[in-house]
Structure 1
Amino acid sequence: MSTSARMLRLLSLLQTHRFWTGGELAGRLEVSERTLRRDVDRLRELGYDVDAVRGAAGGYQLRAGGAMAPLLLDDDEAVAVAVGLRAAANGGVPGFEDTTLQALTKVIALMPPRLRRRMDALQTQTEGLPWAGGPALDPTVLTTLAQACRDDEVVTFAYTAFDGTSSTRRVEPHRLVNLGRRWYLVAHDRERQDWRSFRVDRVAGVPVTTGQRFRPREIPGGDAAQYVNRGLRNRPQRHQVRIVLHAPAAEVGAVVGRWASVDALGERTCRMTMNTDSLDWPVLILVNLDCDFEVEEPADLTALLGRLAARSAVPR
């Protein structure tokens, strides 16, 4: 390995910000500890703050909070970043399409030719069907809430509830939850003295951070995602769906995840129950399951499936 390649490899390891013993780093780089010390000195000359601890248990760690170092990714990491950005640009996160497309263009431009060829192959040989109709998100709103969750900082924001009622909320943000194409903030509402979940797309304007810190509380049940899911299941929604599926309950459960409850009726038969605002979700689930089924309710879902079947029929 050349000196420059070894330096990049060393920097990549240090950028994990974990503490590395000298022996671990020397072994990874296949050099002596003396050569390792020289390489660390070179990084310091380039402006990287590398802390060193002497002694038998000594080692090195890249100091956090300094000047931002170049982002180093191995081949698989670079491709994973590009694939994730491509999914977001294709509508995976509504409201972020243009921003992620710009980021994707920059990432691919920085890739060496061999990786660009891999991404070009992925792009030309993949067809996507974006899931339309999801609520658009404001990137600034999402990141402001995320930072407030991380920093345990009280925030205030204007919010429009499910029934159209507008109010100003002052909350202790706990966690963001992503379910499908919707994002929720789980927080403790200071005025109502209770836990609430808020749809992020219904937050009007950028939340105001107060600078006031709070001591985190324990969320009921201990899990933010389960808290949101319980609230969605208990809230009256537009459609109550019940479908008997001729497939094992475990197989159906693996597809529907948190979006529905699945009860076994036999070894290869089960009933799926879900509440939803849109019938698009059960239709998508049925397409992914590819098994025989009978819709028990609602009649609107039966009618929708009939219209879809008629459109897909091949004319004679």
Structure 2
Amino acid sequence: MYDPSMRILTVLELLQARESVTGAELARRLEVSPRTVQRYVTRLQDLGIPVEGRRGVGGAYRLKPGFRLPPLMFTGEEALALALGLRALKQLGLHTLTPAAEGASAKLTRSLPAPLREDMHALEAAVQLDASPWVVSTDAALLATLLRAVRGAQVVEFAYTSLTGRASRRRANVYRVMHLDGRWYAVGLCQLRQELRSFRLDRVRDLAVLDETFTPPATFDALALARASLPARPRHDISVWLACPPEALQGRLTTWHTDITAEAGGTRVRCQREELEWFASFLLALPYPVRVDSPPALLDTLRVMAERGRTLLAAQATG
């Protein structure tokens, strides 16, 4: 078990985590007697920590309402997890939180003992996290507002722009918020469609939290819903080479069932798709040279589309 100083700190952590804790529970958790718990509480009070106690049977301890201390004791693994998490925020598209993350990182470093502080400096110098070009930037304030609505089971209203550019006003009972394929989504019941829908947060504007509330389902798996709506087994394995850097494809191509790597001064795209026409249209819209390596059916699709184009142009010329 812990030494006495660690037990005192554990009492403080337990008091910060709960509204109140009985002396009996503290004694059981710390494997000490109730009288020893009283000594620990007295020691905290001597250090200026406002611990309030209620005597008698069922007596409990609590911190003075509104008082909180930042967590000052971290293991090496905890400190590493926090530091890496703060640096990885950009990977989730939350670039607007960068100043807050830098401030939190500085506070974390200052709170650590010298050996762990040196580990954090080593992490800063040695670890590089590449900001993926496929991650879509998301407004952190909008995300925070939406999370509060989910917590309060409150209906939200917002302006939404679909993938095709169509604008509409929506009301939704949002059950979950998820991050998938480099994007943030709100998932729940769309009141306009009366169906479960997912909304990309980078397409949401003018979000308002209404006083209207709803009863969320007891269990809801947003990721399972998203996976179920996507093709389970795409039929065509595609491999193409593009005369452009991978970054040039940002926002143009989904990363679902897609592998994008730099190759021979350009980009190799390997992916799986059910409909070749959509992918062929994507290739034709690119302002870069393209080489199709597989499948042969993709070349056939491009030939058909080229013939359609020639027919259209011929009709236009004779008309």
Change (3 A) 1:211 1:63: farther
Q: Does 1:143 pair with 2:144?
A: yes
Change (3 A) 1:212 1:68: farther
Kindly indicate whether the alpha-carbon contact (under 8 Å) linking 1:51 and 1:63 is maintained by their aligned counterparts in 2: no
Kindly indicate whether the alpha-carbon contact (under 8 Å) linking 1:48 and 1:69 is maintained by their aligned counterparts in 2: no
Change (3 A) 1:192 1:39: same
The code of the aligned residue for 1:54 comes to V
Task: Give a deviation string over 1:119-160, Cα, whole Å, max 9, x none.
Answer: 122222223322124211111110111111111111111111
SS in 2 for 1:15: helix
Q: Does 1:224 pair with 2:222?
A: yes
Q: Does 1:242 pair with 2:240?
A: no
Change (3 A) 1:38 1:145: same
Cα deviation, residue 32, structure 1: 3.2
Kindly indicate whether the alpha-carbon contact (under 8 Å) linking 2:74 and 2:112 is maintained by their aligned counterparts in 1: no
Equivalent of 2:50, from 42, 47, 52?
A: 47
Correspondence list, 1:3-22, <5 A: 6-17=7-18, 22=23
Aligned residue in 1 for 2:298: none
SS in 1 for 2:229: helix
- In structure 1, how many angstroms separate the alpha carbons of the residues matched to 2:108 and 2:43? 27
The code of the aligned residue for 1:46 comes to I
Aligned residue in 2 for 1:262: none
Aligned residue in 2 for 1:278: 253
SS in 1 for 2:259: helix
Compute the TM-score of the two structures, normalised by the length of structure 1.
0.65
Change (3 A) 1:19 1:209: same
Aligned residue in 2 for 1:263: none
Cα deviation, residue 280, structure 1: 5.7
The code of the aligned residue for 2:229 comes to G
Cα deviation, residue 8, structure 1: 2.1
Aligned residue in 2 for 1:255: none
Kindly indicate whether the alpha-carbon contact (under 8 Å) linking 1:188 and 1:196 is maintained by their aligned counterparts in 2: yes
Change (3 A) 1:303 1:109: farther
Change (3 A) 1:29 1:218: closer
- In structure 2, how many angstroms separate the alpha carbons of the residues matched to 1:296 and 1:227? 20
Aligned residue in 2 for 1:127: 128
Change (3 A) 1:178 1:279: closer
Correspondence list, 1:144-223, <5 A: 144-205=145-206, 207-217=207-217, 222-223=220-221
The code of the aligned residue for 2:211 comes to G
Aligned residue in 1 for 2:314: none
Structure exhibiting the larger radius of gyration computed from Cα positions: 2
Q: Percent identity?
A: 32
Change (3 A) 1:65 1:77: farther
Kindly indicate whether the alpha-carbon contact (under 8 Å) linking 2:154 and 2:214 is maintained by their aligned counterparts in 1: yes
- In structure 1, how many angstroms separate the alpha carbons of the residues matched to 2:210 and 2:271? 50
The code of the aligned residue for 1:105 comes to A
Kindly indicate whether the alpha-carbon contact (under 8 Å) linking 1:171 and 1:187 is maintained by their aligned counterparts in 2: yes
Correspondence list, 1:257-272, <5 A: none
- In structure 2, how many angstroms separate the alpha carbons of the residues matched to 1:192 and 1:3? 61
Task: Give a deviation string over 1:188-230, Cα, whole Å, max 9, x none.
Answer: 112322211101111113x2111222122467xx421111223
The code of the aligned residue for 1:130 comes to A
Kindly indicate whether the alpha-carbon contact (under 8 Å) linking 2:21 and 2:62 is maintained by their aligned counterparts in 1: no
SS in 1 for 2:169: strand
Cα deviation, residue 39, structure 1: 2.6
Change (3 A) 1:48 1:164: farther
Aligned residue in 2 for 1:270: none
The code of the aligned residue for 1:110 comes to S
Cα deviation, residue 111, structure 1: 2.0
Cα deviation, residue 97, structure 1: 3.2
What count of residue pairs does the alignment treat as equivalent?
A: 259
